[in-house]
Amino acid sequence: MAARQGDHPVKGRRHLVLGAVILCAVALAWGTWRAEQAAIASPQFCVAALEVRGLRLLTGTQVLGSSGVEVGDGLFEVDLDSVAGRLERLVWVRAARVERKPPDRLVVHLVERRRIAWIEWNSEQHGIDSEGVLLPPQRLQTEGIVDLDLPVLRVPGLGDALVIGQVVADSTALRLLDWWATVLRVAPQLAAEISQVEPFGSEALVLRLVADNLEVRLPFGDVGARLATLQQVLDRVYRECPNPAYVDLRFAGQAVVGRQASAKTSEVQDPKRVDPYATQIPRHG
C-alpha cells in the first residue's frame, strides 16, 4: 500500500511536464502563425522584382508578364506552383521553379528550350528541340548565329496535325532527331559540317555537307563508328575521286563513291541498288 501511495507524486509530475510541453507547443504554433500573418500583412514583404536565373532567349519583361505576379503583391501570398505552371506554358520554357527570397523578391529558375535543328513543316522551317517539341519559325532577337546555323531535317509526308509547343508526332522525324542528337554528342566537329538530313529508305538516312553539298548515305545505328569511318573516308574521296556526287557507306567494308553524272540514278527509288558506274574504295587502307 505504501509503495502504491508513493506513485502518485511521480504521476502528478509527469502530468505537469506533459501539460507544460503541450502549452509550449501551442504557444510556439500560435507565435509562428502570428509571425506569418504579420509578415503577410507587412508592406516590407511585398514583391519588388523577379530574379530570373537561366535566362538567355527570353527577356525579363516576358517572364514577368507571363508569371501573373505584379509588383506589390504580398511575397508570402504568391502561389509558387501556379507561377511556375504559367511560365511552363510558354513555348520556350521547358521547366520552371519559383522560390521566395525575403524580403521582396521571387527567384525564378528557368530551363529554356533551344533549337537543335530545323524541320520543314507547312512550307516553313520550324525549330525543334532535343525532346522533339516543335518551336516557332520566327527567330528571336536574342538568338545568334550559333542558335540558328543548324541543319534541316526533311521528313516527307509530315502531317498537318502538328502543334507548336508540343512533341512532333511522327516516328520518322523523331528517329532523325534522335540520330542528330547522338551526332551532336559523339561528333560535334562533324556535326558543324552537316546542312541537311533526311530518310533514305526505311533503314538509312542521307545527309548533305555544308562545304560542297556532298551527299552521304548512312545506315541508322552505330552512329559513332559510322561517323568515324566517314571522317576517315572523306580525305580519300576528295583525293581520289574528283567531283564526287555522293558517298555511300551502307555496305560492309567499302565506300561507294558516285560521280556527278551518275548521281541521278534509280538508286533513289531503290536504296539497296549500287550504282554500277560508281567507284568503290575500301574503308581502310
Mean pLDDT by 10 residues, the chain (285 residues): 54 66 66 55 82 96 96 96 98 98 97 97 94 96 94 91 94 96 94 96 94 93 91 87 89 83 47 50 54
pLDDT digits (tens, 9 = 90+) for 116-126: 999 999 889 99
Q: Are 176 and 132 in contact (CB under 8 A)?
A: no
| Residue 20: predicted pLDDT | 66
| Residue 68: predicted pLDDT | 96
| Residue 48: predicted pLDDT | 95
Choose which CATH entry (3.90.15.10, 3.30.365.10, 1.20.1630.10, 3.10.20.310) describes domain 49-112: 3.10.20.310
**Count of C-beta atoms within a 10 Å radius of residue 72:** 10
Q: Which of 246, 160, 264, 150 is nearest to 206 (CA)?
A: 246
Residues 210, 73: Cα–Cα separation, whole Å:
53
Q: How many residues does the chain have?
A: 285
| Residue 132: predicted pLDDT | 97
| Residue 240: predicted pLDDT | 85
Domain span(s) for CATH 3.10.20.310 in the chain? 49-112
| Residue 67: predicted pLDDT | 97
Alpha helices in the chain (DSSP H): 2-41, 60-67, 80-88, 145-148, 171-186, 188-191, 223-240
Non-local (6+) Cβ contacts of 53 within 8 A are 107, 108, 109, 110
pTM of the model: 0.76
